Amino acid sequence: MRIRLEHVTHAYAGSAESAAVQVLDDVSLDIASGDFAVLMGASGSGKSTLLNLIGAVDKPTSGSMLLDDVDTSILDESRLTMLRRKSIGYIFQFFNLIPTLNVFENVAFPLSLANAPRGEVKSRVAEVLDEVGLGSRATHFPNELSGGEMQRVAIARAVVHRPPLILADEPTGNLDSKNGEMILDLIRGIHRTHRPTIVMATHSERAASYGDYVVEVADGKVMRGSGAGSRESEKSGSAPTPDPRFPTPASK
Ligand SMILES: Nc1ncnc2c1ncn2[C@@H]1O[C@H](COP(=O)(O)OP(=O)(O)OP(=O)(O)O)[C@@H](O)[C@H]1O
Ligand SMILES: [Mg+2]
């Protein structure tokens, strides 16, 4: 899914007690379909705000926010809900699992919302739980899992409907380095296998190195760094096999 921001400005409205907060100021950005983009910037610079605008959780104060040429800033709530359910997977720093649902039910949640047939729900959930290595934990509850496992469940939930867009807000921010690495490997594996567009906010240089390029967020502006897709393949010594259905960064 292609992401385009055109002259996007975003301010959080103030109240009687608080002044309005201007976060993004005339931001334009184009992220091609299948890119793995990384947002970096100081705390409070607007990374989560940007993810919320891209994910149609919030609307820009002005400017256009386009997903595959659809301007989400003018869609009504029911269309936005459909778009979010069908096309977007969100991964959060604090996992956001539902504590009263077991692993299977948490992962099945987006499919249940979309009224998917039971048989399909069962097979899809089993497939993604295997993908994140938790096939044997389906009946466990979140409080019986480690942090790394909870994030793996959250990733399974984010990808169970095979969304063309995955947004991750500091997905390793609450994990130790070993679990963080495992989560990043998992996200990279999903990117290579299914080629969704991924936008990930992080404070970690290590995490950022997993993306194709970095978008710096500072002073209300964004600046796209040079492509680093080659950097990753140089490091690992093996470039991912190109999928002919999706253009590689070099051919776009
Ligand atoms: N609902 C809100 N109302 C008012 N101001 C807000 C609101 N949400 C965020 N802000 C402000 O907007 C600015 C950007 O916040 P945002 O959460 O996008 O930053 P961030 O880059 O994600 O930071 P961090 O790295 O700490 O997560 C901050 O100054 C924050 O205080
Ligand atoms: Mg944030």
pLDDT at 27: 97
Q: What is the pLDDT of residue 39?
A: 98
Q: What is the pTM of this model?
A: 0.89
- Structure tokens that stand for 60 in this block: 């820009």
In the chain the domains, ranked by start, together with CATH numbers, are 3-9+22-251 (3.40.50.300)
Helices 103-113 and 147-159, interaxial angle, to 10°?
20
Q: What is the dihedral of CA 176, 195, 112, 54, to 10 degrees?
A: 80
Query: Using CA positions, which residue lies closest to atom 26 of ligand 1?
Result: 43
**Best substitution site from 25, 40, 45 to test ligand 1's pocket, by max atoms within 8 Å of Cβ?**
45
Q: Whose CA is nearest to atom 6 of ligand 1?
A: 12
CA 35, CA 195: separation in Å to the nearest integer?
Answer: 8
How many whole angstroms from 128 Cα to the centroid of ligand 1? Answer: 32
Q: Quote the ligand 1 centre to 219 CA distance (angstroms).
A: 12
pLDDT at 249: 52
- Quote the pLDDT of residue 113: 86
Residue having the nearest C-alpha atom to atom 13 of ligand 1: 44
Please give the pLDDT value at position 252: 42
Q: Are strands 213-218 and 221-224 parallel, antiparallel or unpaired?
A: antiparallel
In terms of DSSP H, where are the helices of the chain? 47-54, 77-87, 103-113, 118-131, 147-159, 177-194, 205-208, 229-236
What are the mean pLDDT values of the chain's consecutive 10-residue runs (252 residues total)? 97 87 96 98 96 96 96 94 93 95 97 90 96 96 96 96 97 94 96 97 96 96 74 44 51 44
| Nearest of 234, 226, 179, 230 to residue 207 by alpha carbon | 179
Query: Which of the ligands is closest to the CA of residue 169?
Result: 2
